[in-house]
């Protein structure tokens, strides 16, 4: 009985760490769980997979997320894990796998702005810009203030020159909502550049770099704009 009590206590403390956003400590707790109870193992897999994803250890997250998806009965958590798994696939250059996971959710009746925005991002990574635009528009039809979709659609419309003015408006809306987000600042700067407004572009790209100095895409955009004639 004492051993079971200790295990439950550890799990509860791990959940507290997770809820506080302390992914490292939460991960360490759940990695140490040792039990023959499959429910406990699934609970641990759920948190381990999410913690690894939060820590950007995308490859490590995948087997735990897959285990939970295949064995658990909690539909809400399965949805969450499948969404997270799809994101880890995108971040590890497996866009097709990501789209397969997301398509399964759509086929089972799940629908959300986040889901469609993730599908759009996966399409963008494989340079299928038409599909990406369509998915971002579907995301915005559900939630017109979804920042991921506003920024993503704005960037694509400007970057591909499909509709630079419209893309610029979307990027502005995203930055207005989250003025310190380096990704949104970068997109806005790039949209200004595509619109021929170099001074404004440099202003926002410098802000983006200040917020995230190690981001290679921001550095690339800033260099291109600063050296442009």
The span from the CA of 52 to the CA of 93, in Å, is: 17
Of 60, 84, 108, which residue is a domain's last?
Answer: 84
For residue 47, give its domain range: 1-84
| Same domain flag for 76 and 144 | no
Q: Answer yes or no: is 35 within a domain.
A: yes
From first to last of its 229 residues, the chain has per-residue pLDDT tens of 333 334 444 468 889 999 999 999 999 999 998 878 888 889 999 999 999 999 999 999 999 999 999 999 888 899 999 999 999 999 999 999 999 999 999 888 888 999 999 999 999 999 999 999 999 999 999 999 999 999 999 999 999 999 999 999 999 999 999 999 999 999 999 999 999 999 999 999 999 999 999 999 999 999 999 998 7
- For position 4, what pLDDT does the model report? 37
Q: Which two tokens stand for residue 14?
A: 């791990």
Q: Is residue 96, in this structure, part of any structural domain at all? A: no
Nearest alpha-carbon partner for 121 in 103, 145, 99: 99
pLDDT in tens, 135-167: 999 999 999 999 999 999 999 999 999 999 999
In a domain, 99, yes or no: no
| Tally of domains in the chain | 2
In a domain, 227, yes or no: yes
End-to-end Cα spacing for the chain: 74
Cα-based angle 108, 113, 116 (whole degrees, multiple of 5): 65
pLDDT confidence of residue 3: 39
One domain for residues 72 and 4? yes
41 lies in a domain? yes
- Asked if residue 150 and residue 72 are part of one domain, the reply reads no
User: Quick one: pLDDT at residue 5?
Assistant: 38
In a domain, 73, yes or no: yes
Distance, CA of 167 to CA of 64 (rounded, Å): 38
CB 152 within 8 A of CB 136: yes
Tell me, what CATH number does 65's domain have?
Answer: 1.25.40
Please state, in angstroms and rounded to a whole number, the distance separating the CA atoms of residues 187 and 170: 10
The answer to whether 209 and 218 are in contact (CB under 8 A) is: yes
Asked if residue 216 belongs to a domain, the reply is yes
Domain end call among 53, 84, 115: 84
What's the angle, vertex CA 102, arms to CA 104 and CA 93, rounded to 5?
Answer: 130
Give the CATH number, domain containing residue 192: 1.25.40.10
Rounded CA gap, 7 and 206, in Å?
49
What pLDDT score was predicted for residue 35? 79
Task: Establish if 100 belongs to a structural domain.
Answer: no
Q: Where do we find the tokens 């408006």?
A: 169
Tell me: do 69 and 146 sit in the same domain.
no
Report pLDDT for 7.
Answer: 42
Domain C-terminal end among 43, 68, 84: 84
Q: How far is CA 212 from CA 128, 154, 181, 189, in A?
A: 27, 20, 9, 14
């Amino acid at each position: 009985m004492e051993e079971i009590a200790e295990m439950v206590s550890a799990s509860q403390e791990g959940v507290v760490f997770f809820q506080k956003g302390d992914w490292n400590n939460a991960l360490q707790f759940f990695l140490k769980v040792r039990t023959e109870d499959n429910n406990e193992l699934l609970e641990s897999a759920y948190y381990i997979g999410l913690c690894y994803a939060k820590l950007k250890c995308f490859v490590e997250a995948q087997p735990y997320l897959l285990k939970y998806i295949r064995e658990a009965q909690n539909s809400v958590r399965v949805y969450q894990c499948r969404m997270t798994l799809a994101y880890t696939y995108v971040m590890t250059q497996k866009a097709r796998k990501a789209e397969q996971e997301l398509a399964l959710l759509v086929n089972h009746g799940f629908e959300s702005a986040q889901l469609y925005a993730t599908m759009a991002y996966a399409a963008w990574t494989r340079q299928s810009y038409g599909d990406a635009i369509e998915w971002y528009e579907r995301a915005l039809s559900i939630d017109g203030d979804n920042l991921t979709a506003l920024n993503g659609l704005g960037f694509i419309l400007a970057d591909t020159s499909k509709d630079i003015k419209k893309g610029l408006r979307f990027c502005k809306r995203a930055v207005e909502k989250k003025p310190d987000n380096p990704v949104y600042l970068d997109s806005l700067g790039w949209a200004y550049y595509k619109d021929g407004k170099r001074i404004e572009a440099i202003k926002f790209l410098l802000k983006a770099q200040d917020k995230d100095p190690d981001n290679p895409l921001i550095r690339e955009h800033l260099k291109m704009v600063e050296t442009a004639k």
